[in-house]
Amino acid sequence: MTATRSGFDLAIIGSGAAAFAAAIAARGKGASVVMIERGTLGGTCVNVGCVPSKALLAAAEARHGASAADRFPGIRAGAGPVGFPALIAGKDELVEQLRVEKYADLAAAYGWEIVPGAARFTGGPALEVALNDVGTLRIEADRYLIATGSAPWAPPVDGLVEAGYLTSTTAMELDRLPESMIVVGGNAVGLEQAQLFARLGTRVTVIEALERLAPFEEPEISTALEAVLGEEGITVHTSAPLTAVRRDAAGYRVTAGGQELHAEQLLVATGRRPVTAALNLDAVGVKTGRRGEVVVDEYLRTTNERIWAAGDVTGHPQFVYVAAAHGTLVADNALDGAERTLDYTALPRVTFTSPAIASVGPTDAEVTEAGIACRCRTLPLEYVPRALVNRDTRGLIKLVADAESGRLLGAHVLAESAGEIITAAGYAISAGLTVDQIAHGWHPYLTMAEGLKLAAQTFTGDVAKLSCCAG
């Protein structure tokens, strides 16, 4: 027997960043909200994405820092073996704490119900929820939000499914540190996981199908990062598509780029795909794209006027801050008819390697392909005083500017604190600043952000001929 509950202003499928942002905004408008979650409360970021991965990356960085302390004269330190089970337990404890404080407690404070169960659309539109305990519930609302996120995706490769493999999720749930690991995928997630395990003591090999690591970043960044990883003992194979996988008692035998590689564990980090397969979207006329993404207009409305979508499930940039912005936008548009849109021009992205990669705006090649004449300058970190005193000049800052106006179009950074640097660059792009204005603006001395000023100064001068703190 199926019970029915109706009268909700907004029913949300999912409980991640987009879902919670929408629910909080909707409750702020006095709307009634119900949220349906089939799995663990909180979505990707807090459970298996940003929070646990960055917690482990911070631990790996601390261990590596002890080993690398001898870059400072007179300092000697070392790192002992890793208590891997304790490390994973600590990560799990942090995740559980944030899941309660930032999700369960917030829902209770704002006053919306979370229904545990798997939702699918049915005629109406309405939701049919297979409850996790027993029975089925029909939920009827004025409007619906699909915020089911994305999940790790692996390409069709001979023997991969039969052999089994780790994802970025399951790799962080291992109970023992592997001696060796092959990481398939040289983009953000693969790079972070590769350096994480290498710094904990695993022998890591990265294979990337395209011709360079971080293939969507500037080539200078790819080259510099590959050198950094090599110095840390990580083996890299580019132009090496994965073609076959076998597993035996000794571990994995992987064929990539015509070579056979061996490792105890195999981690596949080749991207994520929207989670839509079980939603029965055809029943309510909601179209999806070739990767399963929900097709939305600029206001995030689907092809059914009463159904909206937000976050990774839309196929838009897969960042938690985009998902959160989507959620708030949906609440405004669905409940108030605001017809608000988002501007992605100055959307930053960060890969949390060490040094980190951070970018905002188009690359040199993308600007050229768009038919815009541009000027570019690349500043090695050896000219940034903060990097010099840190005894770590690995990295660079590249600026892309409009050739005619001098307006900053893009900034691309490989450096410690790259995420903080790129935030300032994003504000500069949003404000329409020129590289000359950046070069003559205030930048505190002995910060990494000062590198933006120095990089801007290279458009008109030689920073090698400046004194260490000359403006």
Q: Give yes or no for a contact between 127 and 144, defined as CB atoms under 8 angstroms apart.
A: yes
**DSSP class of residue 101?**
I
For residue 1, what pLDDT is reported? 64
Give me the residue label for tokens 């500037």. Answer: 218
Q: Secondary structure of the chain: what % helix, strand, coil (to 5)?
A: 35, 25, 40
22 Cβ contact partners less than 8 Å away, ≥ 6 residues apart: 10, 12, 145, 147, 310, 326, 327, 328, 330, 331
Rounded Cα–Cα distance for residues 325 and 334 (Å): 14
Q: For 360, list phi and psi in degrees, rounded to 5.
A: -150, 135
Predicted confidence at residue 464, as pLDDT, reads 85
| Cβ(451)–Cβ(421) below 8 Å | yes
How many Cα atoms occupy the beta-carbon half-sphere of 241 within 13 Å?
Answer: 6
* Peptide bond preceding 380 in cis form (omega within 30 of 0): no
Q: What is the pLDDT of residue 77?
A: 84
Residue (of 14, 19, 15, 12) closest to 328 by Cα position: 19
Between CA 303 and CA 297 the distance in angstroms is 8
pLDDT recorded at residue 87: 96
Q: What is the pTM of this model?
A: 0.95
Q: What are phi and psi of 299, to 5 degrees?
A: -100, 5
Q: Got the DSSP string for 59-72?
A: HHHHHHHHHTGGGS
- Closest of 315, 311, 334 to residue 323, by C-alpha: 311
Classify residue 349 by burial, with Cβ atoms within 10 Å: 0-12, 13-18, 19+.
middle
Residue of 209, 224, 172, 189 lying closest to 355 (CA atoms): 224
Instruction: Count Cα atoms within 13 angstroms, Cβ side, for 61.
Output: 13
Sign of CA dihedral 137, 141, 143, 147: negative
pLDDT at residue 143 in the model? 98
Q: Give the Cα separation of 452 and 443 in Å (integer).
A: 8
The low-confidence residues of the chain, meaning pLDDT below 50, are: none
Which residues touch 259 (CB under 8 Å, ≥6 apart)?
Answer: 237, 240
DSSP single-letter state for residue 293: P
**Yes or no: is domain 348-461 CATH 3.40.720.10?**
no
SS3 state of residue 199:
helix
Q: Is the peptide bond before 355 cis (omega within 30 degrees of 0)?
A: yes
Residue 465 is predicted with a pLDDT of 81
Cα 400 to Cα 174: distance, rounded to the nearest angstrom: 42
User: What letter represents residue 184's amino acid?
Assistant: V
H-assigned helices in 132-251:
160-163, 168-171, 188-200, 219-231
Domain boundaries, the chain: 2-152+273-336, 160-270, 348-461
CATH superfamily membership of 2-152+273-336: FAD/NAD(P)-binding domain (3.50.50.60)
Alpha carbons within 13 angstroms on the beta-carbon side of residue 37 total 19
Residues 204 and 269: their CA atoms lie apart, in Å, by 14
> Do 83 and 201 meet the contact criterion of CB atoms below 8 Å apart?
no
Beta carbons of 217 and 245 less than 8 angstroms apart: no
User: 224: number of CA atoms within 13 Å, CB side?
Assistant: 24
Between CA 332 and CA 28 the distance in angstroms is 11
Task: Say whether 160-270 and 2-152+273-336 share the same fold.
Answer: yes
Can you read off the two tokens belonging to residue 218? Answer: 């500037």
CATH T-level fold of 160-270:
FAD/NAD(P)-binding domain (3.50.50)
Q: Any alpha helices (H) in 134-218, and if so which ranges? A: 160-163, 168-171, 188-200
Determine the pLDDT at residue 133.
67
pLDDT confidence of residue 85: 95
In this prediction, residue 466 carries a pLDDT of 79
